[in-house]
Amino acid sequence: MKNRKFLLFILVLSLGLFLAACGTETGDEGSEENTDTESTDNGTEEETASDDYKVAMVTDIGGVDDKSFNQSAWEGIKGWGEENGLARGEGFDYAQSNEKADYMPNITRFVRDDYNLIFGIGFELKEDIQTAAEQYPDTNFAIVDDEVDASNAVSIKFKEHQGSFLVGVAAAMKTKSNKIGFVGGVDSPLIKKFESGFIAGAKSVNPEIEVDVQYAESFADAAKGKLIATNMYDSGVDVIYHASGATGNGVFNQAKDIKQNDPERELWVIGVDRDQHEEGAINDHNVTLTSMIKRVDVAVQDVIEQSKNGEFPGGEMLEYGIEEDGITFSTVNEEAMTEDIISTVEEWQEKILNGEVEVPQTIEELETYQESL
């Protein structure tokens, strides 16, 4: 009897050990499966995080279709988005600012919508980008045409004075009246770079050339741009370079109106920021002599790619000039930009690149430069 009980006990004990062993083995397998799943999920999340990288920009009051600065930035962001199979609102977007009070609400909306990188287009957004960078440390920001001080923000600037110098050379070679004009948007250190470079380039060709300088005090007043252009052309100016955003649309409109009424009259506009050849088209003519092209599209795409790849240049100031392919000039209007003009502009461009010419960025530097001519 005792032997039977002992044998029964051994049988039950063995069965329990067997089941325990099976349970442990099954649990280990489950644990390994869970680890594999977790690893796969993490990898998917990282891949998704990269694929779902979202970029947005906030325009200044010039608007996204200003045919100039904002439009170039948007073309860069849109081009990046489309290359990556994204659609507006689903990976990239912009917010239109109709007044300065719109800047911060537009920025914070994109922060709330979990955009990874937010661009402020134009120096007028400096204070709001600075504030946003401090308030939202988990979001990356970029300011174009100014500098902010934050580890989660990058500053993007251009050597506009270099490109303005080149189109100044073209203007001096094209004018027949020896009177050219400059129309600025808001009188500021940034636009003074355009003015200083333009005058320096023109004076390098002809120290006696007259340059009429006027500011509209707006980047979005086409009517004011048209009025200024009217007065300049009426005074004998035959080439106008504008650095005024959407205000420059008025300069183009006035030049085309004059050309429409007097097809034989030679007068020109020099575009800015992007190739504005299309803006000068009228019938069989085109009043766009050339454009100082500021590759904002190249710069924003460069920063986006760095950021998406985990190399956001936070706290840095990036500057794009001729050497960095961030500044150039247009030769689309082959009838107006003759080989003689192009070759001369390229000669001065080489002088800038090799350090023979230091292009002035301020009015004070311009005065010193002129004394050396």
87-130 confidence digits (pLDDT tens): 999 999 999 999 999 999 999 999 999 999 999 999 999 999 99
**Domains of the chain with bracketed CATH:** 52-158 (3.40.50.2300), 160-294+338-371 (3.40.50.2300)
Q: What is the pLDDT of residue 29?
A: 37
Would strands 327-329 and 288-294 be described as parallel, antiparallel, or unpaired? antiparallel
Give the whole-angstrom CA distance, residue 141 versus residue 165: 31
Mean pLDDT, residues 243-262:
96
Is the pLDDT reported for residue 38 higher than 70? no
Is the pLDDT reported for residue 15 higher than 70? no
Asked whether the beta carbons of 359 and 200 are under 8 A apart, the reply is yes
State the residue for tokens 């300065």.
100
Burial of 317 (0-12, 13-18, 19+ CB in 10 A): middle
Confidence label for 69 from pLDDT (cuts 50, 70 and 90): confident
Q: What is the pLDDT of residue 213?
A: 98
Q: What is the pLDDT of residue 77?
A: 98
Q: What is the pLDDT of residue 66?
A: 84
Lowest mean pLDDT among 7-21, 49-63, 235-249: 7-21
Mean pLDDT, residues 342-369:
98
Q: What is the pLDDT of residue 114?
A: 97
Q: What is the pLDDT of residue 312?
A: 98
SS3 of 35, please? helix
Asked whether the beta carbons of 72 and 296 are under 8 A apart, the reply is yes
Mean pLDDT, residues 274-284:
94
Tell me the per-residue pLDDT of 87-99, one tens digit each, with 9 for 90 and over. 999 999 999 999 9
Backbone angles phi, psi at 231, to 5 degrees: -65, -40
Measuring CA to CA, how many Å separate 312 from each of 130, 244, 319? Answer: 17, 31, 15
Give the whole-angstrom CA distance, residue 106 versus residue 13: 72
CA 299, distance to chain mean position in Å, is 6
Is the pLDDT reported for residue 330 higher than 70? yes
Is the pLDDT reported for residue 186 higher than 50? yes
- The closest of 168, 207, 165 to 358, measured between CA atoms, is 165
Lowest mean pLDDT among 43-57, 174-188, 303-317: 43-57
Give the whole-angstrom CA distance, residue 358 versus residue 141: 32
- The closest of 372, 317, 325 to 353, measured between CA atoms, is 325
* Percent of the chain whose pLDDT exceeds 90: 83
Q: What is the pLDDT of residue 51?
A: 62
Say what the pTM is. Answer: 0.81
Is the pLDDT reported for residue 17 higher than 90? no
Tell me the per-residue pLDDT of 134-154, one tens digit each, with 9 for 90 and over. 999 999 999 999 999 999 999
Confidence label for 68 from pLDDT (cuts 50, 70 and 90): confident
Is the pLDDT reported for residue 2 higher than 60? no
Would strands 239-243 and 210-215 be described as parallel, antiparallel, or unpaired? unpaired
Would strands 179-184 and 153-158 be described as parallel, antiparallel, or unpaired? unpaired
